[in-house]
Amino acid sequence: MDQCDNSGGSMSALRTFRLVRILRLGKLVELFPQIRRQIKVITRTLGAVSSLVVLILMYLVIFAILGMSMLGGNAVEYLRTTDPDHINDFRPGNSVRVLIPTDPYMILTATVLRYDPTRPDRPYLVYRNAPSNNDWPINHMSNESLQIWRQNGEIWLNMLELEPFQYQDYLSIRHETTIVGLVPRGNFDSFYMSAITVFQIFTTSDLGDVMYPAIRGSGMFASLFFAVQVMLGNLLLFNLFTGIIITGFSETKEELQKEEQENQRMIEQDKLRRAQSLARGMSIGSKARSSNGTSISRGMSITSSVAGLDHCSSLETAVEKVKAL
């Protein structure tokens, strides 16, 4: 068995190394100058917005913490249980908001464990970890079902279609623990979810799906939180980030084009210098060959002149000999 485990580990490591070979495809970028140019533009532009990215991260962290303190655990997604489109939203594993009949009332978060249609009065079995003494006020835990939930962590509950302004009236009549809605996908219950929700607001993607459940659970003052966040985040930082990216992209592209033109000009100048030096060398060679030909012709003429003089002197000597006879 150990040998099998070791072989399996070695095979997985081998597969990992094979996957690393995919990175070799990055060398194909060198074959496409346009893609290589665009990558250079992107890397240079990102360097120009690094300080703004730090500012955006600070914005996300600050508003994520503010969202946790102001809206954490309050956002309620109001859905009708009879709506067939939302039946699966209440399947086991989903989180729900539970109204606790305390004074003042509390909204806690629980997880659906099971749905039993044979229990029409309390069909949902929900679970919540046993909280500390500071979580639920002991002075207001007179309800027997709450005591059971506090001890066991599980309780069967019903779900009612209530708006937050109806909570107090409902508790004054029935004084019963009940499920009042779902936990929306965009919430501020933890720092992780709060940061994701703030980033979603930053991009204004499905803003209504985040804003209205928070306003429903926390009141109209929550709209100020979203208004400030949209003005600072989307209208200011996001547009500034986009503008810097576009401007930097165009400027960097122009700089790269100028660099390429300068490099091309230098290459042309180098070619011209080489051509001029080659032409100069050829002209010097032709002049040398012409001067050599001239000197040779001069030497031949001098030789012929000397030969002529020798011939004349020999004739004069012969004439003098004839006269002597």
Determine phi and psi for 133, rounding to 5 degrees.
Answer: -65, -25
Least reliable range by pLDDT among 6-20, 66-80, 84-98, 311-325: 311-325
Query: What domain count does the chain have?
Result: 2
97 vs 1, which has greater pLDDT?
Answer: 97
Asked whether residue 146 falls in the same domain as residue 204, the answer is no
Confidence (pLDDT) at 136: 46
- In tens, the pLDDT along 231-248 reads 999 899 988 888 888 887
Residue that the structure tokens 């989180």 belong to: 95
Asked whether residue 141 falls in the same domain as residue 198, the answer is no
- In tens, the pLDDT along 6-47 reads 555 566 666 776 666 666 666 666 666 677 777 777 777 777
Please say which residue of 256, 278, 298 terminates a domain: 256
Asked whether residue 81 falls in the same domain as residue 178, the answer is yes
Asked whether residue 55 falls in the same domain as residue 149, the answer is no
pTM: 0.64
Q: Is residue 320 part of a domain?
A: no
Q: Is residue 208 part of a domain?
A: yes
**Domain extent at residue 174:** 76-183
Confidence (pLDDT) at 268: 81
Confidence (pLDDT) at 145: 55
Asked whether residue 43 falls in the same domain as residue 84, the answer is no
Q: Are 179 and 96 in contact (CB under 8 A)?
A: yes
Asked whether residue 174 falls in the same domain as residue 200, the answer is no
Asked whether residue 194 falls in the same domain as residue 48, the answer is yes
Give 132's pLDDT tier (boundaries 50, 70, 90).
very low
Asked whether residue 249 falls in the same domain as residue 199, the answer is yes
Please say which residue of 135, 156, 183 terminates a domain: 183
- Please give the average per-residue pLDDT across 237-261, as a whole number: 79
Asked whether residue 176 falls in the same domain as residue 84, the answer is yes
Determine phi and psi for 215, rounding to 5 degrees.
Answer: -65, -40
Asked whether residue 94 falls in the same domain as residue 138, the answer is yes
Please report, in angstroms and rounded to a whole number, the separation of the first and last CA atoms in the chain.
139
Helix boundaries (H) for 153-206: 167-173, 191-202
Query: What mean pLDDT value characterizes the chain?
Result: 74
Asked whether residue 92 falls in the same domain as residue 234, the answer is no
CATH code, domain carrying 195: 1.10.287
